[in-house]
A = this chain, B = another copy of it.
């Protein structure tokens, strides 16, 4: 039994060993402690975000790891690039949650006293012993944010909710063709940043009022809100039918990809009047479009008319790109201040990273050997991204965290390891 009686030191708000700096600055969330019991993308992304801002995020996994511990992509050394990257900068605690003593350790870590503790992010389904009510009975001002699939408890993942909100049916070139799934788990990532937002909003409130918070966040709701907030459901309701597929055209504006003479492709966008003027100027098509406006009764300085005539505009511009190799296209577009981007492969991104052109990216050593390319926080404070955070190793910090947060003695930690409640090799 782990409880007040076994505590030898009071819980502290120490940040030792856990708080990286951002440049010369103490990070904004230094001193905050968060417990994370979450798998896959959304919850861990939320925890990682808080860790990169300076919070001490204690991730608790079952012995042997959760269902995401070996997810692809996996390095030749056997480490999951995925798990290592989404959990970097956190401390890892591994506990047998089927054992009563293990469960008690988890409850004690979550509800440990201290104004900068008592924050839990999870995506737990079913475990009644970890319900908000059970936890709040021990610490009434707990902030508990639970990530769900559907709000009613039914499971869902990014790829199922994306299908359910209608995006695959309007993706890709083929009118009437099969749906095209996105490859980026976009809703997971948006949910992850909603987790960090929700936790910090609740903390702001608790610091002023003393109130805790019971917060739930369903992936399916994030996706519904996402398409609704862009106005797309309103449009479908007014139109009464699905938006036609647009291929690579940007909806509601002018933007599309062009192939260069050497086969490279560029994405060119003209949202504003200035961007449109730059594009006309560099391609020498000003007079063509002036005449077209007269012929078609259009005003191409208006985004809506550029959208309506997108195929015509693209057809007029296409030969300019096909007459030039990519390096020349790049030079001319940049000189004219056109808004554009190149289609790169991920190997191209890696090569650019090797040349040092992407300060947001960083190499971190994996505990099992080898290196991973991972990211610092995209938020820059006084120009600095801060450190990416150390790659985690399952259970590495168990003993240290139990001593530091719960005040357990070396003897007690040894007994728990011997009993298999925590990993035997976890001693710090």
A414 to chain B, nearest CB (A): 33
Q: Interface digits, A248-280 against B, CB 8 Å rule (1 contact, 0 not)?
A: 101111010100000001110101100100000
Q: Mark A331-343 against chain B: 1 for CB-CB distance below 8 A, else 0.
A: 0000000011111
Q: Is A101 located at the chain interface by the 8 A CB criterion?
A: no
Which of B155, B203, B236, B339 is in CB contact (< 8 Å) with A349? B236
Docked-complex contact A28 and B202, CB < 8 angstroms: yes
A383 to B146, alpha carbons, bound, how many Å? Answer: 11
Cβ A159 vs Cβ B255 within 8 A: yes
Which of A1-9, A192-200, A420-428 makes up part of the contact surface? A192-200
Does A402 interact with chain B (Cβ within 8 Å)?
no
A214: contacting residue among B156, B237, B373, B382, CB under 8 A:
B382
Contact partners of A291 in chain B: CB under 8 A: none
Q: Identify which of A74, A236, A343 gathers the most chain B CB atoms within 10 Å of its CB.
A: A343
Q: Do A201 and B200 touch (CB < 8 A)?
A: yes
What is the copy number of this chain in the assembly?
2
Q: Please state if B86 and A343 are interface contacts (CB–CB under 8 Å).
A: no
Please classify the interface of chain A as helix (H, G, I), strand (E, B), loop, or mixed, using the class held by over half of its residues: mixed
Given contacts A341-B163, A378-B217, contact A204 B348 (CB under 8 A): no
CB-based contact A248/B179 at 8 Å: yes
Whether a CB of chain B sits under 8 angstroms from the CB of A186 is: yes
Most buried by B among A165, A234, A269, A339: A234
Interchain nearest-CB distance for A74 vs B (Å): 7
Contact across chains for B350 and A236 when beta carbons are under 8 A apart: yes
> Chain B interface: which of A170-178, A282-290, A317-325?
A170-178
| Contact flags A351-363 to B (C-beta < 8 A → 1, else 0) | 0010000111100
Mark each residue of chain A from 146 to 179: 1 if its CB lies under 8 Å from any CB of chain B, else 0: 0000010001110111111111111111000011
Q: Which of A183, A267, A353 has the most CB of B within 10 A?
A: A183
Query: In the complex, A348→B166 CA distance in Å?
Result: 8
* Chain B residues within 8 Å of A216, by CB: 379-380, 383
Q: Give the chain B neighbours of A81 by CB distance below 8 A.
A: 231-232, 234-235
A73 within 8 A of B: yes
> Which residues of chain B have C-beta atoms less than 8 A from A180's C-beta?
171-173, 180, 248
Chain A interface size band reads 35 or more
Tell me if A307 counts as interface (CB < 8 A to partner B): yes
**Which residues from chain B contact A382 at a C-beta distance below 8 Å?**
214
A222 touches B378 (CB 8 A): yes
A56-64, A105-113, A238-246, A404-412 - the one binding chain B: A238-246
Asked if A114 is at the interface of the complex by the 8 Å CB criterion, the answer is: no
Check A72/B304 contact, CB under 8 A, given A164-B342, A378-B225: yes
User: A165-B344, A216-B383, A233-B353 in contact; A271/B157 too (CB < 8 A)?
Assistant: yes
Q: Which of A257, A303, A379 has the most CB of B within 10 A?
A: A379
Closest 3 CB pairs of A and B: A72-B252, A160-B341, A81-B231
Listed in ascending order, the chain A residues whose CB lies under 8 Å from chain B are: 28-29, 31-32, 40-41, 45, 48-49, 53, 67, 70-76, 80-82, 84-86, 151, 155-157, 159-173, 178-186, 189-191, 193-194, 196-198, 200-205, 207-208, 213-218, 221-222, 224-238, 240-243, 246-248, 250-253, 255, 257, 265-267, 269, 271-272, 275, 303-304, 307, 339-350, 353, 358-361, 371-383, 385
